[in-house]
Amino acid sequence: MTVQINPSILSADFARLADEAQAVKGADWLHVDVMDNHFVPNLTLGVPIVESLSRATSTPLDCHLMIEDPDRWAPQYVEAGAGSVTFHAEAAAAPVRLAREIRAKGARASMALKPATPIEPYEDLLPELDMLLIMTVEPGFGGQKFLDIMLPKIRRTRELISRHGLELWLQVDGGVSAETIERCAEAGADVFVAGSAVYGTDDPAAAVRSLRELAETATTAAPWACGH
């Protein structure tokens, strides 16, 4: 079972994005938070910046779309160079059609759930996805406190993935830090987004390394990972 660490550039210096991408060289993906001030009460960046960033770094881009009408916009992020595109279940009108379109265009398709959205109604849809994102804070801002009450949802999702024998990555996003990452890994997450815990430190690359180490150790000890 491979652990992946995806630093979120939401906590980076937006005027120096190319340098900030370089600063986390060992990272698996660069997590790019797209917010439209409608789906969430914050506004960040859009297609042109993703396009430039994908040219400026060899680290693949993991675009997390916190926007209304992803059915319309998500395919443009694939064309802009994203290797993975995540839309929110609460915002998508036709999630199956959208996931298929993202895959057909050549990116990994991923769906996110806000804290109050349960996983169970989406069980039959999971084979259409390459990754599921469980938000561990209310989406919209970096630097919020990790919601421990999301751990049972992570556990139940991991059970569904195992029961159906799926090759689905399980991402957590929000408040992931050296203090919380082991609990996420133990519960079943294997892709970890960290914003302030990486870019809020003096040495972002070292932060990525130590988060990875903590997650790997916790995964090895986790019951769900036995035999992988």
Q: Which residues bind Zn ion (CB under 5 A)?
A: 33, 64, 173
Q: Are 75 and 99 in contact (CB under 8 A)?
A: no
CB atoms within 10 A of CB 188: 26
The residues pairing with 6 across neighbouring beta strands, listed in sequence order, are: 193
Which listed option, ligand DX5, Zn ion, none, makes contact with residue 175 (CB within 5 to 8 Å by class)? ligand DX5
User: Which residue from 143, 203, 217, 221 is in contact with ligand DX5, where contact means CB under 6 A?
Assistant: 143
Question: Which residues within the stretch 93-122 sit at the binding site for ligand DX5 (CB under 6 A)?
Answer: none
Q: How far apart are CA 220 and CA 192, in angstroms?
A: 16
Nearest distance in Å: CB 64, ligand DX5: 5
Among 193, 208, 218, 222, binds ligand DX5 (CB under 6 A): 193
11 binds ligand DX5 (CB under 6 A): yes
173 counts as catalytic: yes
| Three-state SS at 31 | strand
To the nearest whole angstrom, how small is the minimum distance from the Cβ of residue 7 to Zn ion? Answer: 11
Interface with ligand DX5 (CB under 6 A), residue from 70, 95, 175, 204? 175
Distance CA 122, CA 8 (A): 26
Q: Which residues pair with 108 in a beta bridge?
A: 84
SS3 state of residue 227: coil
Q: Which of residues 29-48 bind ligand DX5 (CB under 6 A)?
A: 31, 33
CA distance 211 to 223: 20
Q: What length is written for the chain?
A: 228
Residue 197 interacts with, from Zn ion, ligand DX5, none (CB under 5-8 Å by kind): ligand DX5
- Tokens 């996003």 map to which residue? 173
Residue 211 or 222 with smaller CB distance to Zn ion? 211
Interface residues toward ligand DX5, by CB under 6 A = 8, 10-11, 31, 33, 64, 137, 139-144, 173-176, 193-197
